[in-house]
Structure 1
Amino acid sequence: MAEDLWSQRRTTLADVAKAAGVSRALVSIVMRDAPGASAASRERILAVAKELDYRPDVRARSLASLKAHVIGVLFGRAGRFHFELIDGLYSAAEERGWNLALSALTNSRDEKQALESLQDFRLDALVMLGPPVPDPLLAGHVPTVVVGWHVDHPDVDIVRTSDEHGLTLAVDHLVSLGHRRIAHLEGGSGLVSQSRRRAYSSAMRARGLADQIRVVPCGGEDQLDGQRAARALLQEDAESPTAIVAFNDDIAAAAMSVLAQEGIDVPGDVSVIGFDDSELAMLPGVDLTSVQQVPRELARLAVERAVARSDGAEVADREIVLEPELTVRRSTGPVRER
């Protein structure tokens, strides 16, 4: 199957021009979205191109211009939310006629090694979904946009959801249901985890619950880490919490699973809130209350900013912060009197 796919001859501009009954130059104008073609011609040519499954030759376009129209993407241990972000990046880039070159971070592959694998591409910009570092290696060399955390470097653009507002929504919702003993399952030691931990503590203090602040260390941000953290919470020699706010949906869902195994009812005994409002949170068996992020909007803004910086555009503010909402489902309820 793969051999057949690669052996197929690529549809060319000349093929589209012949089928549409126009010149190759006119097809080129339409494909570049340049002025010079009538609305009727543009519509006919695009229809023929779609019918013939025409795709621009990225290599040829790169050689013919000073730009490759390629955005590099670095991503780490991709949970559900990161996969949704990557899907959004592909869609946003395709809408602009750009391409993505992806490179993954693993336990044995750091930022430097992941960037080295992109060195054969003529990158016009870089979007980082990870690693969440304070000083990206290519900052100041390639237009760089980070998604999800704050960076002080003046040459780095930021697109993120407000952790401060998100955790405030979560804590306020639980307090409104009568909860006071609210624990936080963190997501490791990274910058995003640190930000959400600070936001949780700040929200608890704002509600007069400083003496109830309880952060449970977590080695990472996937479901296995969540299971370990939940078991550690249950084994602590302290009064059990009536509510949990987790770093993300994966950790929250894992905690719910551990609670169920221990015969602890959610939300009857313990309410649980996640962060991301990913597809996992919407599953009938999970039905998780979660702080909503909008991955496609984050992705669109990241691509928009990367392209703008690549074009040398000046922007008013290098940081774009989206205010989240709380999606309330069945994993949270009133505190049970004991």
Structure 2
Amino acid sequence: MDEGDSARRGNGTHKRPRLEDVAARVGVSTASVSLVLRGVPGPSERTRERVLRAAADLGYQVDRTASMLASRRTRLLGVMVDIHSPFHAELVEQLHTAAEDVGYDLVLSTLTRTRDEHTAVETLLAFRSEALILLGPTAPADTLAALDRKSPVIAVGRRIADAGLDVVRTADDEGVGQIVDHLVDLGHREIVYVDGGRGVIATDRRRGYRTAMRRRGLEAGIRVLHGDNTEEGGEHAARRLIEGGDLPTAVVAFNDQCAIGVLAALARAGVAVPGQVSVVGYDDDTLSRLSCFNLTTVSQGAREQARHAVTAAVERLDQGRTEAREVVLTPRLVRRGTTAAPA
């Protein structure tokens, strides 16, 4: 049994190593050990290496709960995420990286078919989240404003007018406009839009389609089909097109999930994509990049949105910023294999 094992076992009691044990092993103060383990400047590089080696040998783990109670800070950012959204999953991954870079961690609370926004937010507050990063919230602006008075709120992905909130989003109407321009430049004139249902994000994207069609002289060809943000919604919309016998040359879907549903319905009906119908999604989520879909879409810049959202939270919490700020990023068309010139 080596020295580290002896310290860990402590006469068979399996006593958990303490900060004092690490300090005794190195021969420095507990304050110095704490500085090293928290990554705070001060101790020399040699001391830092010895402390980290001793902590590893002893199996010491930082008691995060005790640290939080002592400082009265949790350094936790609460994130509300839709469990069914691949794009939200990508945002969460980028949020983790951005938060870790500034010494924060995340608490996640999910939206499901049986778990609404109110429940998700209450869970985040119960875990003492210092700020709330809400991905695509649908609650009314005044509800979010009231919540912001309890804890700083950063709304990601949704336009919120005059609510006094921090917002990080892309210009959704401009993104759909880029899609229409891409299709028209390829030669398409019969371009159908599958809607995303109710909500501000869906409204902005629908408006972007209508505006771009008018701008390109195709107002008479505007055609919006009922849909939603799921594969099922895209399938149902595409089946209506197929059964009606009046296929357009291009279909623009509210998001990538909806577009994948459109692709599935067209494939089952033997309609070639992009040979007979071009299809475009929105979000550039992980599914859109798979070779089996290779979907033309619009990137919202998950990394940039995450970085701006975490920066906004830190400015509110650590720098005392009180005025609301909106960051609007420019979306980017990603050309892949589901669009081509019409036959």
Contact 2:164 2:324 in 1 (8 A): no
Report the TM-score, using the length of structure 2 for normalisation. 0.86
User: Which one of 37, 40, 45 corresponds to residue 34 of structure 1?
Assistant: 40
Residue matched to 1:278: 285
Q: Using a 3 Å threshold, how does the CA distance of structure 1 residues 329 and 56 change in structure 2: closer, same or farther? A: same
Contact 1:76 1:131 in 2 (8 A): no
Residue matched to 1:297: 304
The DSSP-based 3-state class of the residue aligned with 1:128 is strand
User: How far off its partner does 1:270 sit?
Assistant: 0.6
Residue matched to 1:128: 134
Q: CA RMSD of the aligned region, Å?
A: 2.5
Q: Using a 3 Å threshold, how does the CA distance of structure 1 residues 27 and 258 change in structure 2: closer, same or farther? A: same
Residue range with higher mean Cα deviation, 19-28 or 68-77: 19-28
Residue matched to 1:195: 204
Residue matched to 1:222: 230
Contact 1:70 1:125 in 2 (8 A): yes
User: How far off its partner does 1:263 sit?
Assistant: 1.1
| In structure 2, C-alpha distance between the alignment counterparts of 1:186 and 1:54, rounded to whole Å | 54
| In structure 1, C-alpha distance between the alignment counterparts of 2:114 and 2:324, rounded to whole Å | 36
User: How far off its partner does 1:53 sit?
Assistant: 7.2
Q: Using a 3 Å threshold, how does the CA distance of structure 1 residues 13 and 91 change in structure 2: closer, same or farther? A: farther
What one-letter code is carried by the residue in structure 2 that aligns with 1:242? T
What one-letter code is carried by the residue in structure 1 that aligns with 2:186? L
1:233 maps to 2:241:
yes
Alignment map for 1:55-70 (pairs within 5 Å): 56-70=62-76
Structure 2: tracts of 5 or more residues without a match: 1-13
User: Which one of 78, 91, 103 corresponds to residue 72 of structure 1?
Assistant: 78
| In structure 2, C-alpha distance between the alignment counterparts of 1:313 and 1:197, rounded to whole Å | 37
The DSSP-based 3-state class of the residue aligned with 1:198 is helix
Q: Using a 3 Å threshold, how does the CA distance of structure 1 residues 107 and 21 change in structure 2: closer, same or farther? A: same
| In structure 1, C-alpha distance between the alignment counterparts of 2:18 and 2:252, rounded to whole Å | 54
| In structure 1, C-alpha distance between the alignment counterparts of 2:285 and 2:319, rounded to whole Å | 34
1:149 maps to 2:171:
no
Contact 1:183 1:244 in 2 (8 A): yes
Residue matched to 1:263: 270
Q: Using a 3 Å threshold, how does the CA distance of structure 1 residues 41 and 330 change in structure 2: closer, same or farther? A: same
1:324 maps to 2:331:
yes
Contact 1:145 1:156 in 2 (8 A): yes
User: How far off its partner does 1:174 sit?
Assistant: 0.6
Q: Using a 3 Å threshold, how does the CA distance of structure 1 residues 270 and 120 change in structure 2: closer, same or farther? A: same
Contact 2:164 2:323 in 1 (8 A): no
User: How far off its partner does 1:12 sit?
Assistant: 4.7
Q: Using a 3 Å threshold, how does the CA distance of structure 1 residues 260 and 86 change in structure 2: closer, same or farther? A: same
Q: Using a 3 Å threshold, how does the CA distance of structure 1 residues 234 and 12 change in structure 2: closer, same or farther? A: farther
Alpha-carbon displacement from aligned partner over 1:281-337 (angstroms, at most 9, x marks no partner): 11111111111122232222212211211124338871111112111111100111x
The DSSP-based 3-state class of the residue aligned with 1:276 is coil
Q: How many residues align?
A: 327
Alignment map for 1:88-127 (pairs within 5 Å): 88-127=94-133
Contact 2:84 2:112 in 1 (8 A): no
The DSSP-based 3-state class of the residue aligned with 2:280 is strand
Alpha-carbon displacement from aligned partner over 1:33-77 (angstroms, at most 9, x marks no partner): 434223454455456667877654332122112321111111235
User: Which one of 174, 186, 198 corresponds to residue 195 of structure 2?
Assistant: 186
Identity within the alignment, %: 44
Contact 1:77 1:105 in 2 (8 A): yes
| In structure 1, C-alpha distance between the alignment counterparts of 2:329 and 2:172, rounded to whole Å | 10
Contact 1:11 1:52 in 2 (8 A): yes
Alpha-carbon displacement from aligned partner over 1:170-207 (angstroms, at most 9, x marks no partner): 11111110001111112221221111111111111111
The DSSP-based 3-state class of the residue aligned with 1:138 is helix
Contact 1:230 1:255 in 2 (8 A): yes
Q: Using a 3 Å threshold, how does the CA distance of structure 1 residues 28 and 111 change in structure 2: closer, same or farther? A: same
Residue matched to 1:138: 147
Contact 1:140 1:155 in 2 (8 A): no
Structure 1: tracts of 5 or more residues without a match: 1-7
1:249 maps to 2:256:
yes
| In structure 2, C-alpha distance between the alignment counterparts of 1:90 and 1:48, rounded to whole Å | 28
User: How far off its partner does 1:253 sit?
Assistant: 1.3
